[in-house]
Structure 1
């Protein structure tokens, strides 16, 4: 009991940076021209579903030390885009850290259908490993489906594995994929137990500091607070009214309005912490604990901490980007970041660490919100289309269930059944494409095997090409109209090539970074290339990005 009390006191002291003695950080040591100069610690910060405009939409309400500090003290590549489609979480994290695209790194979605295995595949699944930290299957994960190295792998290689690399995220994929293949650890949250876990890909048992932290059941302590707005609700003038029919309700709620009764979930539904700003708070708390317990930045070699704040994604999916919930989540994350940066200044030393901020994707406006404001948008469901097409194809070509499945805006066909029926596959695909083009909500459709000769606009063609992996992708790809997506009537999602999904933040701050901005077009894949240039290490094995020279040539 005394041990748990001491640990809780230590945790609270760590996270209350205001109570920490403000030591003057030691300046980075000057080195001779013959000595390789690198930061003590690199932090990759990916905010899940953070549209680029969130940097400025809430700017006037941000504190001086959070997002505003990054914008003012750091270097921002303001016109950074995702160069592929579909724009999903696993793809984004993989592409940031590999400097590559799904066509090369193999992570073409959160899930995909594998024609060879004849089943669906999850991006981080690995049944050859075991869960470490709980008795659930949530830990049967590893980076094995990612086909190239990451910048974190390359740092390990460059230092003969002396650099320590750790990934932390509520989502397994948000931790595992950034940390890379050779990471010392990747930790993610098991919503079934309320514990942070890992897999035997990394270790056979959790470190003592994490086991002790799990015993505190911090999620229950946050649930006990409920979720009300940080400021008076009438001051949230960047959002819609609180009660909107196109916002999703949580379990036990009559309306999707504040205050949200999170006390209902204490000790019962640990997964719900993900759908609140407290999920981000807990993630950054764990990041501080990891820095302290694992002595990151103190080894003499550059260490790397890859952190993904995922609660923003869950909140966005449920309520949409114009909700008070979204605004409150970013204002709370801003305060968490201020405390995190203050902790880094004290623990590692201002100027001794390099941090970048980005996102794995953005988000569309909710169709209900768009209709309310006389703007284009809507929903699309491909299930009826598949059912109708399979019936037509069977009648016309004598092939049963020719379309096996649809995922990531792609139709997968049963090649063997089509071959056995001696049917004309090109004719079947042409029929499919023409049928898709007739659907409300679809802008165009294309045969992926003939993409190069299609009449698609070049930016869309390039995005689909970069997202197409010959081993894992489907046969026909359809492109939805602007602000159309597949989903329900509440909340939002993402996945398109449009700027609302593909325009992301890209801000560097700290070691060897001078304040500045560029509006030159850059891409998500340039982040790893830039880090490689700054650290003087090899680019990841599939990297197609280019260094942001406006930053590296300062």
Structure 2
């Protein structure tokens, strides 16, 4: 009896351990860990989607769209893009690298060299677009500036190139920074309304691409209007009504019912430019991605290896910039995207097999509310012209040091300083930096300022804003004074970008807290996980599932508590 009781107790203990780590699945012979990897990993990103928008609109989602991921996947509801300067390129670069910007080298959508030369994050003049579109020097054509490997690169290495990686996005940076060095990327052209690739990836488009665009599918939304999706007006009471004065962007008005292709008798430049910043942009992206998947037999790899397909839906970011995340346009767009995703997920699983697909869903950054909305709620909020701030501090510095325009330029993250002039005067660089940083803190809307000397030594205060700022600072091309606004403020030039009603790019929760869900019952345990997580955790977690090497600069942790026991 004692032996039987002991054995029963041991069984209960083992059962408890399995329950904590996830229910065990039948072992697969000859596979490390005993669970065969998925045939297809689908990574879906929504550009500019804060976590709070999922929570706010959960009850209006359809069962097989976002709710399926939240209800039946592993949902990390406290997940963050854990770096300062939360913008599109930076966020995309973290997802499959597991690395922060200080290692990826992607510190912004663009930046400047010390002598003022403009650098776009995926520009490479050695390569051109393949659809005949003129390629400018600043266009995104390759991952040349990406300093680290991605999960797809490691998959290709581990399988001797049998595993394949394909990426689609409405923005060039959204496609290129997910495909890595060895994948294949397609990005949207605002000139033709088509998704195109570049000479970095191939010499010419495949035949399926030619066949697809021979039918001009990008023109199907010409002269369609964007009206609200739901018939129930009460459903939209959680959003601001149409007609907000702050939400006016270029040709668009803040009224629903916008006509795409207005002023044109046939699809042309205006229609193609405005198509991606619309709910139809998501439908177009999904349709192209599914055509690519079927044509390339993605997930049905003839060599039996795992394939990775990434799709970045770019429209939500444009819409939030144009109208604000609290707007009826943003809410209605998210509901439409949810329906698009439901159809997309269904098509993916029908193609590759429900039990063969692992899906990851996240975002490159969140979004702040419009300053007018935040002010109306009683918060100090506003837009800060970076030129005005820099001129004010430069004037103070000139009085003290006798050097005009010490801060030579503003770029992503802050300012560069005229070290040559400082050295010529025989001044101590660190003393000048410190003066500039302290003077900055007295300017309206400025919350933090960190100097190059501080950042090089890692000598920053022990708080989260400082930590996220350190992670965002890539020494070779970084600023000399890192500048962080106060909450509910952002930098916006009065002349260069007057149309955007709100933005993102700060280390505050509205910009960092993004969705993170993983769905695939064979590999992950369903449930809501409230433990803190970061987007850099995605790559090492997937590496464990795929049995491949963790990407070269990964610092993320494996989300062990959500993995099925092996």
Equivalent position of 2:199 in the other structure? 200
For 1:457 and 1:382, how far apart are their aligned partners in 2? 27
Which residue is equivalent to 1:155?
155
Alpha-carbon distance, 1:360 to partner: 0.4
Please report how far the alpha carbon of residue 250 of structure 1 lies from its aligned counterpart in structure 2 after TM superposition: 4.0
Match of 1:475 among 469, 477, 480: 480
Q: CA deviation at 1:421?
A: 3.5
Shift of 1:233: 6.8
Is 2:558 the counterpart of 1:547?
yes
Query: How has the CA–CA distance of structure 1 residues 428 and 72 changed in structure 2, closer, same or farther, with 3 Å as cutoff?
Result: same
State the distance in 1 between where 2:76 and 2:374 align. Answer: 29
Verify the 8 A CA contact 2:167 2:311 in the aligned structure 1: yes
Q: Which moved more, 1:87-96 or 1:125-134?
A: 125-134
Looking at structure 1, the residues matched to 29 and 289 of structure 2 have their Cα atoms a distance apart, in angstroms, of 34
Q: Does 1:494 align with 2:486?
A: no
**Is the deviation greater in 312-321 or in 397-406?**
397-406
The TM-score normalised by the length of structure 2 is 0.88
Of 340, 343, 347, which residue of structure 1 is paired with 2:347? Answer: 343
Q: CA deviation at 1:58?
A: 0.9
**Cα distance, 1:274 vs. partner?**
1.4
Alignment root-mean-square deviation, CA? 1.9
Helix, strand or coil for the counterpart of 2:78? strand
Gaps of 5+ in 2: 1-24, 493-497
- Per the TM alignment, residue 156 of structure 1 is displaced from its structure 2 partner at its CA by 0.8
Q: Write the distance in 1 (CA, Å) between the matches of 2:26 and 2:134.
A: 49
1:413-446 alpha-carbon deviations (Å, 9 max, x no partner): 1222322333332332223112211111112212
Matches within 5 A, 1:294-333: 294-299=296-301, 300-333=304-337
CA distance in 2, matches of 1:497, 1:140: 26
CA distance in structure 2 between the aligned counterparts of 1:512 and 1:380, rounded to whole angstroms: 47
Q: Give distance in 2, aligned partners of 1:62 and 1:140.
A: 34
Separation in 2 of the partners of 1:393 and 1:425?
13
Is it true that 1:382 corresponds to 2:386 in the alignment?
Answer: yes
Residue in structure 2 matching 1:410, options 414, 425, 431: 414
Q: Distance in 1 between matches of 2:406 and 2:421?
A: 7
Aligned residues: 522
Give the Cα–Cα distance (whole angstroms) in 1 for the partners of residues 225 and 247 of structure 2: 19
Q: Any idea what SS the aligned residue of 1:429 has?
A: helix
The TM-score normalised by the length of structure 1 is 0.90
- Aligned match of 1:132 in 130, 133, 138? 130
Mark the CA change 1:328 to 1:293 in structure 2 (over 3 Å): closer, same or farther: same
Offset at residue 523 of structure 1 (A): 1.1
1:275 is paired with a residue whose SS is coil
CA distance in 2, matches of 1:495, 1:475: 18
Mapping of residues 51-450 of structure 1, within 5 Å: 51-115=50-114, 118-137=116-135, 141-183=141-183, 185-232=184-231, 234=233, 235-251=235-251, 253=252, 255-264=253-262, 266-269=267-270, 270-299=272-301, 300-450=304-454
Structure 2 Cα separation of the partners of residues 534 and 212 of structure 1: 36
Instruction: Provide the rounded CA distance (Å) in 1 between the counterparts of 2:513 and 2:405.
Output: 38
For residues 93-131 of structure 1, the C-alpha deviation after alignment (integer angstroms, 9 at most, x for no partner) is 00111000011111111111223x641211001011122
Counterparts of 1:442 and 1:340, CA distance in 2: 43
- The separation in 1 between residues aligned to 2:132 and 2:317, in whole angstroms, is 25
CA-to-partner distance for each residue in 1:456-478, whole Å, 9 max, x for gaps?
34211111111111101111112
Q: CA deviation at 1:491?
A: 2.3
Secondary structure (helix, strand or coil) at the match of 2:145 reads coil
- Find the aligned partners of 1:232 and 1:435 in 2 and give their Cα distance: 54
- Equivalent residue for 2:3? none
The answer to whether 1:485 aligns with 2:503 is no
CA apart distance, 1:373: 2.6
Residues 288-320 of structure 1: CA deviation (Å, up to 9, x unaligned): 001100000111110000110000100011000
Deviates more, 1:209-218 or 1:492-501: 209-218
SS at match of 2:309: strand
Does 1:515 pair with 2:526? Answer: yes
